[in-house]
Amino acid sequence: MEDRESFPSRQYKLAWGKGRWELREVLRSRVAEMRVLVSTRVDPGGDRAAGQKIKEAALGELDQADDALNHSTNSWRIPGSSLAVAQAHLDMAHSLMLRLASSVEVRALLPGLLSVVREHLSVTDLRRSEVEKMEQHIGPEGALNNRQRELLIDAVGVARQALLRETLRVRSFVSIVYGVFAALTSIAIVVAVLGARYPDVVPLCFGPMDVGIVCPTGDDSVFHFDPGVADLDSAYADVAKSRDYLVVELAGLGAAAVAAAVTLRRINGTAMPYNVPVALALLKLPTGALTAVLGLLLVRGAFVPGLSALDSSAQIIGWAIIFGYSQQLFTRLVDRQGQAVLDAVGGGPSTPQSAPPHDSADGRSVPAVPQEDG
């Protein structure tokens, strides 16, 4: 028997561990319900030995689901993965329980099971085609024979495996986004540190005519550039400050944060245990910091027509903000890919209709991989 902790401490341990506490408790309640349903089943074929083996296997799967939900013994697992593992064991227990159900009971569950097949198997899948034909040829009160039962259980099992693969694709996508975020953040930090340590190597300064030298955090209005006399690079190095790169990156970071907030209006949220919108929003931050620096370097190199020189520190910061916000041009493609990955979970263009979660033996819906609001 599990050691019961106080309600608040147990709640926060689970919430900060493997997914939201509410989702874990939903699965725990489904496991408890399934355990009762399996324990009260008998083999409709009369083979008590075979029925007992199936029942023991189903109860073993439910034990595995309980173990996957136990945070204290699985704290090393990737957040969210324990929920998917528990759901997989719960699905297997449900499939085993279908073997213990009578043909009439399986026929009553056919609409819910068929919805799972339609949601996760393509229209070209032969198993889906056979199950759909089965529904058409069996009357409302008809019973399934052994062949039809096996075909239905196999199709539902494959559909659930397809759902798991779709969920794993989401996890892989989120892991890639977090990896790129970590890499870009590291690069932004290195750039800021090197800019502070060697501000005179590549200064973010400009020398407009009749103005002097202007940098993000300093200027020299006394110096005027004379192409025949002045050493402009040396003058830039004298005026550049160690905080220039940091200020420019912070300006780009702030603009990127605003861009991330604006994109929230187009985000419908996600019910997956892997938070795609948060990962995509975080990716914009270091990207904005780097695009601000790179954009100013392009302006300084006269790669942007009409912006060969900026006249004041305020203009430099302003353009840093614009370049930081412009990261949206690059991350928009990643946003679209993230939404496409989410849309692929639970059916895509190949599924002509929306299907509800699959049903348990008592007619209640069994949720797919537990999901978390984005």
CA distances from 207 to 2, 204, 255, 309 (A): 72, 11, 26, 6
Say whether both 15 and 63 belong to one domain. yes
Residue partners of 143: CB distance under 8 A and separation at least 6: 102, 103, 104, 107
Say whether both 221 and 149 belong to one domain. no
Encoding tokens for residue 324?
């930081």
Give the span between the Cα atoms of 27 and 30, in whole angstroms: 5
DSSP-derived pairing of the beta strands 213-215 and 218-220: antiparallel
Give the span between the Cα atoms of 372 and 361, in whole angstroms: 26
Q: Please tell me what DSSP assigns to residue 131.
A: H
Say whether both 40 and 183 belong to one domain. no
Q: Which domain holds residue 289?
A: 173-344
pLDDT reported for residue 182: 95
Chain centroid to Cα 273, Å, comes to 7
In a domain, residue 229? The reply is: yes
Give the span between the Cα atoms of 117 and 103, in whole angstroms: 19
Say whether both 148 and 33 belong to one domain. yes
In a domain, residue 371? The reply is: no
Number of domains in the chain: 2
By C-alpha distance, which of 70, 63, 8, 67 is closest to 38?
63
Asked whether 114 and 132 are in contact (CB, 8 A), the reply is yes
Chain centroid to Cα 198, Å, comes to 39
Encoding tokens for residue 120?
């996760």
pLDDT reported for residue 310: 77
For residue 90, the one-letter residue type is: L
Say whether both 32 and 127 belong to one domain. yes
In a domain, residue 2? The reply is: no
In a domain, residue 373? The reply is: no
In a domain, residue 1? The reply is: no
Say whether both 260 and 140 belong to one domain. no
pLDDT reported for residue 190: 95
pLDDT by residue for the chain (374 residues), tens only, comes to: 344 444 344 443 434 344 466 777 778 888 888 888 888 776 655 567 777 888 888 888 888 888 888 755 555 555 567 777 888 888 888 888 888 877 777 877 888 888 888 888 888 888 888 888 877 777 656 667 778 888 888 888 888 888 888 888 888 888 899 999 999 999 999 999 998 888 888 888 877 666 678 888 876 555 555 544 456 667 777 777 888 899 999 999 999 999 888 887 766 666 566 778 888 889 999 999 999 999 888 888 777 666 666 778 888 899 899 999 999 888 888 888 887 887 777 554 433 444 444 444 444 444 444 444 43
Say whether both 297 and 332 belong to one domain. yes
In a domain, residue 372? The reply is: no
In a domain, residue 320? The reply is: yes
In a domain, residue 374? The reply is: no
pLDDT reported for residue 206: 79
Say whether both 340 and 362 belong to one domain. no
Say whether both 153 and 209 belong to one domain. no
Residue whose pair of structure tokens reads 């499939």 in the numeric block: 95
Q: Please tell me what DSSP assigns to residue 280.
A: H
Say whether both 196 and 152 belong to one domain. no
Encoding tokens for residue 289?
């910091």
DSSP-derived pairing of the beta strands 218-220 and 358-359: unpaired
Say whether both 17 and 120 belong to one domain. yes
Say whether both 66 and 191 belong to one domain. no
